[in-house]
Amino acid sequence: MTQAVKSAKSAPATGSGAVMVLGGGVAGVQAALDLTDLGYYVYLVEKSAAIGGAMAQLDKTFPTNDCSL
Amino acid sequence: MDGYNEGLALTRPIHIDYPQAVPASYYIDPKACLHLTENTCKICVPVCRSRAIDFTQTEKIEELQVGAVVVAPGFGRVPDSTLAKYGYGQHPDVVTSLEFERLLNPSGPYQGQVLTMSDRRHPKRLAFIQCVGSRDLGCDNGYCSSVCCMYAIKEAMVAKEHDPELDITIYYMDMRTQGKDFDAAQKRAESQFGIKFVRAKVADVMPWGKKGLKLTYSTLNGGHHFEPFDMVVLSVGLDSPKDAQAIAQTLDIKLNRYDFCDTSAFTPLNTSREGIFVAGAFQGPKDIPESVTQSSAAAGIASALLKQQRGAGYVVKSYPNERDIKDEEVRIGVFTCHCGINIGGVVNVPSVDQYAGGMENVVYHSESLYSCSQDAQEVIKQKIKEHKLNRVVIAACSPRTHEPLFQETLKDAGLNRSLFEMVNIRDQCSWVHAQEPEAATRKAMDLIRMGVAKARGIKPLAEQTVPVTAKAVVIGGGVAGMTAALTLAEQGFHTTIVEKEAALGGNLLVIKKTILGVDTEKTLKAMIEQVKKTKLITVLTKAELLDVSGFVGNFSSVIRLADGQENTIDHGVIILATGGKEHTPQTVLGKELPASEAIITQRELETRLNAKGKKLPDSVVMVQCAGSRGDDLSYCSKVCCNHAVKNALTLKDKNPKAQVIVLYRDLRTYGYAEEKYREARERGVIFIPYSLDAKPEISKKGKAVEVRFFDPLLGEEVTVNPDLVVLSVGIVPQGTEVLSKLLKVPVTADKFFLEAHVKLRPVEMPVDGVYVCGLAHSPKPLDETVVQAQAAAAKAAMPLVKGMVKVDPIVSHVDKEACIGCGLCVSLCPYKAIQMLTSEDKKKRAETIVASCKACGICASHCPTFAISMGGFTNEQIFSQIEAFGKSIEDKL
Amino acid sequence: MNQAPEFNPRILGFLCNWCCYAAADAAGVSRYQYPPNLRTIRVMCTGRLDPVFVIKGLIEGADGIFTGG
């Protein structure tokens, strides 16, 4: 991960319309989805082999006990 | 080791983490691979037929040009040394909550059976220990992790569902179920599931007898106790990510003292560096809905920053041309899903699959382990092409959750997405007939037969779109409404704020600072100025929304202005930010409240504390949950504990000799506010818990007030006569009932707006184009209100950015030839979605307004000439389903 | 053969997508167990229900019709 974000060290407004999202858990995935819905190209960077993060390990969620996956 | 299962199971060095993983490609675990560790083996290379294994690949460094960054690395683990205090690592039956989560899971190490790790027996007695690695200065985690109480209750309830005989006790300091409807779940756990809650501090967990564990704990009265258990679950808190320092260094952003990202109450997602935003648990420990809300909000802020470059490099997904199936014979493919063991463990899937294969028009049928996995989607696409399928039936879970996924697959394979029918053999079959595999199998067959019958009659339906008015209306001009309006305006969309009072500002007008010391007065003033000078924002004060008509993208609202005039505004979206107000309780602690000037609310105390030159009280008794959690209000208002601690500290600042007693049930200073709770105790504020069977009593003695309560530490009843009794009275929503009727949006039993999905769509309302934020959604502190408002604005911006909205083609359609213009449908339609138009022959004919139609079908079922049909639910289709129902296989058995 | 065969009714249900069908899903998520005699047809609203559907169901051999909406 540390290597992947080096390029972000340039100034924030580089003229690029792309956004990098670091982390592919539920927060990262939601941010990426919403950014695409708002018209931006997204690089989603995740260090493990699959996105989903901790939520993918859960069976159900509180308080409705809905399926998590 | 299987990391997905928390190391509780073994997996191969080459694996995918779980069947639904995205991307679903196998990878090599470098720590387990013999070639990478020992430089031997390499047996996989020649075995792989697609020659997909290439050991010559190395790490590559890529340079990417981006305009903004959203950091969402999540949370880390509490170190094992902290867990070792409770026997973790020494005794296999002491497990972490995440390990227990995997044990409960059907895809976990024992297929969802709860077994002890030591000898695979069913535990009879189970304990949860709360606050492991949270609220604990021993491991330098002075904060509350804000999620553990909830997941412990959830895990306990699920464990009870698995084994109703299981005896479960949760040891806690405070149950912090402050979120929306969370208290109700705790009550359910206690009354319905018989889970025991014990307020105690656990000292240690030691081996006991041959196999068991002994848990030693102390209670408030100083007593020491011990209890034997078969298994102990540690409710482990959320730590900062392991590589937080490295992330901060690479990104050049600041961390707080706990190594979470450093942010402020009014800009909770802005890091110390411009253009880099934070979301999720790295911003501070939090649960799923708040993480999801923060993500949407971060997307909205990034979007505002980059609005000049919007669309640059954006790739629109393209689909192959839709195959014309008009002249094709019906060719149905049936795919039956095992859903791991969820379906296959009950329903005999192979025989169901065989049965499906024998049906008329079914030219292809197969089973799959998980139909929703990425590779299964590829198979479906391939089979559609290979067998020229023109109807697809998937027998799996619920169309309510998975229909869009499969429809996308159809589109990818060149089929119209309507040529699809889903049969629910999981939620409504295998899960509810777990003990009757044969009957469940027969039911699955019947349902598939009915699904196939319906599928024969499906016709392709064209997707329709309607244009959007790219403007927004925000109801409410408090912090939530103003933040939402600013976020929308920054993205380039005109927004009208409708405020019923004469001034902007809402509740924050009477508050000077937050519990963590953020000066709100100055920032609020700046925010109001900003709103007023933003050209894209129109502020209407003393204004009221009278009527709303239309639908997402095309709303039309009538607003009464200060001068009594009515104004109509066209807009595409609407954000509800009507806020809340302090509750005026009728009943406090189960009794009518005596009228006295010495009894005030926290808000009134705050005003007195902020006033100059007023004499401050020397003794105060604060009573928490006055009117809440069982009195007038059933719920917890989330902010009152923080409010009480803040006021207690301010009083101590201004009058150090003041005696402050706080009577509480559970002190809910979650997150970093926990530090202030600790500070208050250190500075001599006395916190005394009360239970529901020994509630404090407030009475009037002449001009003075008296409070009588039971002190568990002393073990006796205490009477005090303070200068002031200060009640924490809770928050009630404002304006929700009227708007709920105007907009046809739901409210909860407590009259707060009810969002579309509590976890995954926390700021959207079930009606498209309507969003919610702030206290009208649920009680919450300032930073959470700001985030929610930013998130609502981000979501609201989506249809405005696109410029059009798609309409699900299941809407009604009027056959102009058959329509006699009677107008019955118009009078019956609850959504005003049918209009009468005069056609060329001067006769009246009905026509559907597709964007307003909710596909209920009332028009179709009442049309005297059968001129109205429902896309995907035609009379013919439903008739054939009923006929298929009639052809029961049970007769043949 | 000395026992009368147990009455095993066949019930046809029409469930509204938004409430009863959702509730039936929720019952599944919570693993409530109920007798396997019901076969359902999902509609977008029970307003869709033409009385003819009920009659047709009875003709086709249903012992009872359930509507949930």
pLDDT tens, position by position, B477-514: 999 999 999 999 999 999 999 999 999 999 999 888 99
Q: What is the ipTM of this complex?
A: 0.95
Do the beta carbons of residue B13 and residue B33 sit within 8 Å? yes
Residue B280 and residue B258: Cα distance in Å, rounded? 15
Nearest CA in chain B to C51: B861
Tokens for B131, please give them. Answer: 């606050």
Determine the 3-state secondary structure of B486 from DSSP: helix
| Residue C59 contacts A where some CB pair is shorter than 8 Å | no
Q: How confident is the model at residue B892 (pLDDT cuts 50, 70, 90)?
A: very low
Sign (positive/negative) of CA torsion B382, B386, B392, B397?
negative
Would you say residue A13 has pLDDT above 60? Answer: no
Task: Tell me the nearest-neighbour CA distance from C41 into chain A, angstroms.
Answer: 23
| Residue C30 contacts A where some CB pair is shorter than 8 Å | yes
Chain C residue numbers with beta carbons less than 8 Å from the beta carbon of A58 are none
Contact C10 B447 (CB under 8 A): no
Task: Tell me the nearest-neighbour CA distance from B892 into chain C, angstroms.
Answer: 14
Put simply, the chain A residues between 37 and 66 with a CB less than 8 A from any chain C CB are: 60, 65-66
Q: What is the pTM of this model?
A: 0.86
Partnered with residue B69 across adjacent β-strands are A20, B276
Range C12-20 average pLDDT: 93
| Residue C65 contacts B where some CB pair is shorter than 8 Å | no
| Burial of residue B841 (number of CB atoms within 10 Å: 0-12, 13-18, 19+) | exposed
| Identity at B876, one-letter amino acid code | E
For chain B, the straight-line distance linking the first and the last C-alpha, in angstroms and rounded, comes to 47
pLDDT of residue A16: 78
Would you say residue B20 has pLDDT above 80? Answer: no
Partnered with residue B202 across adjacent β-strands are B217
Nearest CA in chain B to C20: B428
Task: Tell me the nearest-neighbour CA distance from B500 into chain A, angstroms.
Answer: 31
- Which parts of B388-436 fold into alpha helices (H)? 399-412
Determine the 3-state secondary structure of B524 from DSSP: helix
Structure confidence by residue, pLDDT tens digits, B752-800: 999 988 888 999 998 889 999 999 999 999 999 999 999 999 999 999 9
Pick the closest to residue B189 from B155, B236, B219, B215 (CA basis).
B155
Range B111-122 average pLDDT: 89
Contact B247 A1 (CB under 8 A): yes
| Residue C34 contacts B where some CB pair is shorter than 8 Å | yes
Tabulate helix, strand, coil % of chain B (nearest 5): 30, 25, 45
Do the beta carbons of residue B753 and residue B777 sit within 8 Å? yes
| Burial of residue B347 (number of CB atoms within 10 Å: 0-12, 13-18, 19+) | buried
Range B434-450 average pLDDT: 96
Residue B210 and residue B204: Cα distance in Å, rounded? 18
Q: Which chains, if any, share at least 3 CB pairs under 8 A with chain A?
A: B, C
Averaged pLDDT score across all residues of chain B: 93
Residue B754 and residue C6: Cα distance in Å, rounded? 45
Report how many Cβ contacts below 8 Å link chain B to chain C.
110
Nearest CA in chain A to B185: A63
Other Cβ atoms less than 10 A from the Cβ of B693: the count is 6
Chain A residue numbers with beta carbons less than 8 Å from the beta carbon of B274 are 12
Contact A18 B291 (CB under 8 A): no
Contact B399 C27 (CB under 8 A): no
Report the number of secondary-structure helices (H) and strands (E) in chain B: 22, 42
Other Cβ atoms less than 10 A from the Cβ of B690: the count is 19
Chain A residue numbers with beta carbons less than 8 Å from the beta carbon of C29 are 60, 65-67
Residue B418 and residue B292: Cα distance in Å, rounded? 30
CB environment C9-35: b (16+ within 10 A), e (fewer): ebbbbbbbbbebbbebbebbbbeeeee
Do the beta carbons of residue B494 and residue B572 sit within 8 Å? no
Lowest mean pLDDT among B44-58, B770-784, B809-823: B44-58
B39 Cβ contact list (under 8 Å, min separation 6): none
Contact A34 B295 (CB under 8 A): yes
Contact B431 C39 (CB under 8 A): no
Sign (positive/negative) of CA torsion B424, B427, B430, B436?
negative
Chain A residue numbers with beta carbons less than 8 Å from the beta carbon of B25 are 49
Nearest CA in chain A to B401: A67
Residue B768 and residue B56: Cα distance in Å, rounded? 51
Work out the percent of chain B whose per-residue pLDDT is above 70.
99
Omega before B585 cis (within 30°)?
A: no
Residue C69 and residue C57: Cα distance in Å, rounded? 18
Structure confidence by residue, pLDDT tens digits, B619-648: 999 999 999 998 889 999 999 999 999 999
Nearest CA in chain C to B158: C30
- Chain A interface, best mutation among C29, C31, C32, by max A CB count within 10 A: C29
pLDDT of residue B313: 79
Residue A27 and residue B74: Cα distance in Å, rounded? 8
Pick the closest to residue B173 from B205, B144, B212 (CA basis).
B144
Do the beta carbons of residue B367 and residue B379 sit within 8 Å? no
Task: Tell me the nearest-neighbour CA distance from C26 into chain A, angstroms.
Answer: 8
Pick the closest to residue B346 from B227, B472, B443 (CA basis).
B443
Would you say residue B411 has pLDDT above 60? Answer: yes
Do the beta carbons of residue B754 and residue B736 sit within 8 Å? no
Exposure of A69 in the CB half-sphere (CA atoms within 13 A): 22
Chain C residue numbers with beta carbons less than 8 Å from the beta carbon of A60 are 29
Chain C residue numbers with beta carbons less than 8 Å from the beta carbon of B401 are 25
Would you say residue B202 has pLDDT above 80? Answer: yes
Nearest CA in chain A to C30: A65
pLDDT of residue B17: 82
| Burial of residue B666 (number of CB atoms within 10 Å: 0-12, 13-18, 19+) | buried
pLDDT of residue C4: 65
Contact B886 C22 (CB under 8 A): no
Contact C28 B426 (CB under 8 A): yes
pLDDT of residue A64: 66
pLDDT of residue A9: 36
Q: Which chains, if any, share at least 3 CB pairs under 8 A with chain C?
A: A, B
Task: Tell me the nearest-neighbour CA distance from A12 into chain C, angstroms.
Answer: 45
| Burial of residue B125 (number of CB atoms within 10 Å: 0-12, 13-18, 19+) | middle
| Residue C11 contacts B where some CB pair is shorter than 8 Å | no
Q: Which chains, if any, share at least 3 CB pairs under 8 A with chain B?
A: A, C
Chain B residue numbers with beta carbons less than 8 Å from the beta carbon of A44 are none
Work out the percent of chain B whose per-residue pLDDT is above 90.
77
Structure confidence by residue, pLDDT tens digits, B294-344: 999 999 999 999 999 888 878 888 899 999 999 999 999 999 999 988 899
Contact B431 C47 (CB under 8 A): no
H or E, element range at B654: helix B640-654
Chain C residue numbers with beta carbons less than 8 Å from the beta carbon of B860 are 48, 50
Nearest CA in chain A to C25: A66
Q: Which of A1, A8, A59 is closest, CB to CB, to B104?
A: A59
Q: In terms of DSSP bridges, do strands B724-727 and B619-623 run parallel, antiparallel, or are they unpaired?
A: parallel
| Residue A10 contacts C where some CB pair is shorter than 8 Å | no
**DSSP at B144:** B
pLDDT of residue B173: 95
| Phi, then psi, of B858 in degrees rounded to 5 | -60, -40
Angstrom CA distances, B465 to B414, B462, B805, B856, stand at 20, 10, 5, 19
Lowest mean pLDDT among A65-69, B128-132, B567-571, B788-792: A65-69
Lowest mean pLDDT among B68-77, B666-675, C30-39: C30-39
Range B424-438 average pLDDT: 95
Chain C residue numbers with beta carbons less than 8 Å from the beta carbon of B886 are 59-62
Nearest CA in chain C to A60: C29
Q: At what angle do helices B182-191 and B148-162 cross, to 10 degrees?
A: 40
Find the farthest-apart pair of alpha carbons in chain B and give their distance in angstroms, rounded: 94
| Identity at A4, one-letter amino acid code | A
Exposure of B69 in the CB half-sphere (CA atoms within 13 A): 29
Nearest CA in chain A to B246: A2
Would you say residue C9 has pLDDT above 80? Answer: yes
H or E, element range at B558: strand B554-560
Do the beta carbons of residue B646 and residue B603 sit within 8 Å? no
pLDDT of residue C2: 56
Lowest mean pLDDT among B55-59, B281-285, B666-670: B55-59
| Residue C5 contacts B where some CB pair is shorter than 8 Å | no
Angstrom CA distances, B710 to B175, B223, B663, B665, stand at 20, 17, 10, 12
pLDDT of residue A66: 62
Residue B773 and residue B328: Cα distance in Å, rounded? 51
Do the beta carbons of residue B783 and residue B440 sit within 8 Å? no
